[in-house]
Structure 1
Amino acid sequence: MAALSLRARTRELWDEHNPGLDTSPMEVVALVKRITALLELAVEPIYDGAELTAAEVSLLVPLRHVEEDVTAIRLAERLNMSRAGVSKTLAKLERRGLIARVPDPADRRAALITMTDTGKAAIDDLFPRELEAHGRLLAGLGPDRAAVVSALTLLADTMEAALDA
């Protein structure tokens, strides 16, 4: 509750000192940041001492059951991540034997990424526990879950459209 009053007070202060400034985006952005922080807090114990980081799991989840060849560029695009960040993380995963990269026969500059059995075992262990932690956080939504998903989809689509414009 204190965080809510702090956000409201922060907005009031900005409105006082900069009367022409539109502070309305703060409402949405503050909530998104709060939700992100809560999601991270929920999984923190899972990753304490784990073989993978949360960022690495985010990269490996889409690779786990992939049916087509995937390059780092395609993976970065799918996950809306920077190519440099994806490449750096993949290099770490490859050094640890969790993924393998082989030259793409269609484009020698690119590499096809596959998970090793070690990588599959690691993701099969951690990802279900992450889902369970998130599930506990979201259980209270009940029948409102569909409305929340719809609103968040609208938010994500609106933000993507603004970036694409």
Structure 2
Amino acid sequence: MESDHALSDLVQLFWQIRKTVQLSIQQADPDCPRTELAMLERLHYIIRCSGHDGAVPVSALPEHLRMLAPAVSRTLRQLEEKGLVERIPDPHDHRKALVRLTEKGEHIRLKAEDRMREYMHRVIDRVGEETFARMLDDLSTWEQAMQAELKREE
């Protein structure tokens, strides 16, 4: 079936785009592994969307990150050891911990974000703003359809 080949090509294209984006992010701070840079960005996004006072409950991260709790814990420990994030007591429930980016972590994240912004502007200049806008609309439509199918399968 021809569409099966196209679907395989789509998956490979998404994978390659992801790798290219990660390589671009890595150039922002070669001393910081790209997995850590990606985690800092993901934590920032989660805190911005659902956190309070610049922090988010550690217990909420596995669901938000779509990772198993031991993997989240291991990654947070590595980021803490490097001084990029910190765990603090939840002021509303002292049995729980919150996590937030440290000043150092935020500095590294912003450096990577600036690098990514410059990179993406060059890419947009290459493909054109109209093509970029169409792609965003199309990808948004795809993502919404994919989410709907996931919910239907639950």
Instruction: Output the TM-score relative to the length of structure 2.
Output: 0.72
Q: How has the CA–CA distance of structure 1 residues 97 and 37 changed in structure 2, closer, same or farther, with 3 Å as cutoff?
A: closer
Cα distance change of structure 1 residues 163 and 87 upon mapping to structure 2, 3 Å threshold: farther
CA-CA distance at 1:101 after TM superposition: 0.6
AA aligned opposite 1:141: G
2:131 match = 144
Confirm or deny: 8 A CA contact 2:62 2:68 kept in the other structure. yes
Deviation at 1:54, TM superposition (A): 3.2
Describe how 1:8-157 pairs up with structure 2 within 5 A.
Answer: 22-50=4-32, 53-62=36-45, 68=52, 69-104=55-90, 105-106=92-93, 108=95, 110-139=96-125, 140-157=127-144
Answer 1 or 2: higher relative contact order, Cα 8 Å, separation at least 6.
Answer: 2
- 1:90–1:99 contact (8 Å) kept in structure 2: yes
Q: Label 1:144 to 1:60 Cα distance change in 2 as closer, same or farther (>3 A).
A: same
Which secondary structure state, in structure 2, belongs to the residue aligned with residue 46 of structure 1? coil
CA distance in 1, matches of 2:30, 2:6: 37
Aligned residues: 146
Paired residue secondary structure (2:100)? strand
How far apart in 2 are the matches of 1:127 and 1:47? Answer: 11
Over the aligned positions, Cα root-mean-square deviation in angstroms equals: 3.1
2: CA distance between counterparts of 1:22 and 1:84? 35
Larger Rg: 1
Q: Flag the 1:59–1:87 CA change in 2: closer, same or farther, 3 A.
A: farther
Q: Give how far 1:161 is off.
A: 2.5
Give the CA deviation at 1:45. 2.8
Q: Which one-letter code corresponds to 2:42 in the other structure? A: L
Percent identical residues = 25
User: 1:117: Cα distance to partner?
Assistant: 1.9
> 1:42 offset after TM fit, Å?
3.2
